[in-house]
Amino acid sequence: MKKIASWMKWATIALAGLATVGTAAVAEAAVPGTITHQGRLYDSNDTPVSGQVSVQFSFFDASTGGNEVWTETHNITFDEGYYSVELGSQTPFGTAFDASQLYLEITIDNDAPLSPRTEVRSVPYALVANDAVGDINPSSVSIGGVTVIDSSGAWVGDPTGLQGPQGPAGPAGAQGPAGPAGATGAQGPAGPAGPQGIQGIQGIQGPAGPTGPAGPTGASGVVATAAFSGYAGATIAANATGYSFVGTTGTVTVTSTTQRLTGAAEAPLGTTAGTATFFAGLCYRLGAAGTITNFVGGAYSVFEADTTRSGTPVSASVTGLPAGTYTVGFCVNNAGTVALNDNDWVNGWVALTN
């Protein structure tokens, strides 16, 4: 049985005090050079973490992969899972915030980085940083390292193209003698075409020719794929009367009844007491409110789970679905009397082929 890494589950992270990090020639108050980061951390048993833990914070320029533009590590003392840390207090941000979009990645001790990365967003007053609002009070203005307005307010940049205000109109001068006649100009373009005439009478249709031979059947291939991965949920209730999706889902669009959906998924499921008997498989639903249906109809698989969490692998294929956009994912019908309440992450995929 696979054990999930001890820091796999963690609380929602709050970013506070986010401001553009940089320098200014003159400012009413110094711009803070750090970001307050707060959150709460749980272990794999959903118990808040206490004590000191090493945590690495990194900014990347993409949600996956990409380039690491800044990182630093803190030894944080957690109190019932809660923590607060000043990012940038050890390593200055430098040009990290020059990226158009940043994503925060967190690594606990020597575990793999938490996934997915968290998108960094603006705090309310930082939204106006894209443009100056109201009066500005610089000591001078420079463009490309060249001063164009000095500290006295005088323009010292390139004078090319500068124009002062228009003066008053002067008095009209005397009319001069008529000039000689100019040369005849070139002929102008032709005028627009006239309206189209009335269409003639259609002739009699000739007999149809013989039907040509049918061409060869085209090769089948993958039209689309969808992957899904997410927490199965703290509790999958007992005494269910039908299937329900567990974890996140994916979507695919079917255009022909000859197309086929094929997929597989797995989820570690367990109980805190007793043995649960349940059905599991891959399911689909047409649109957002259709009936959740097992890929294989009544040919479902029966599983049992107890206090030792175990993997639940499923795979299936279905064809003949009407055209439309379908939600697909791992599904469970817990018709037994014991709830599944010691669960982990669902991981799966589905492919649409001709």
List pLDDT tens digits, range 241-288.
999 999 999 999 999 999 999 999 999 999 999 999 999 999 999 988
**CA neighbor of 277 nearest in space, from 303, 241, 301:** 303
Q: What is the pLDDT of residue 8?
A: 34
Overall fold of domain 222-353 = Jelly Rolls (2.60.120)
Q: What is the pLDDT of residue 26?
A: 36
Radius of gyration over every alpha carbon of the chain, rounded to an integer in angstroms: 35
Residues of the chain with CATH 2.60.120: 222-353
Residues of the chain under the 50 pLDDT cut: 1-28, 127
How many angstroms separate the Cα of 176 from the Cα of each of 49, 88, 179? 96, 76, 9
| CATH 1.20.58 is the classification of domain 14-130 | no
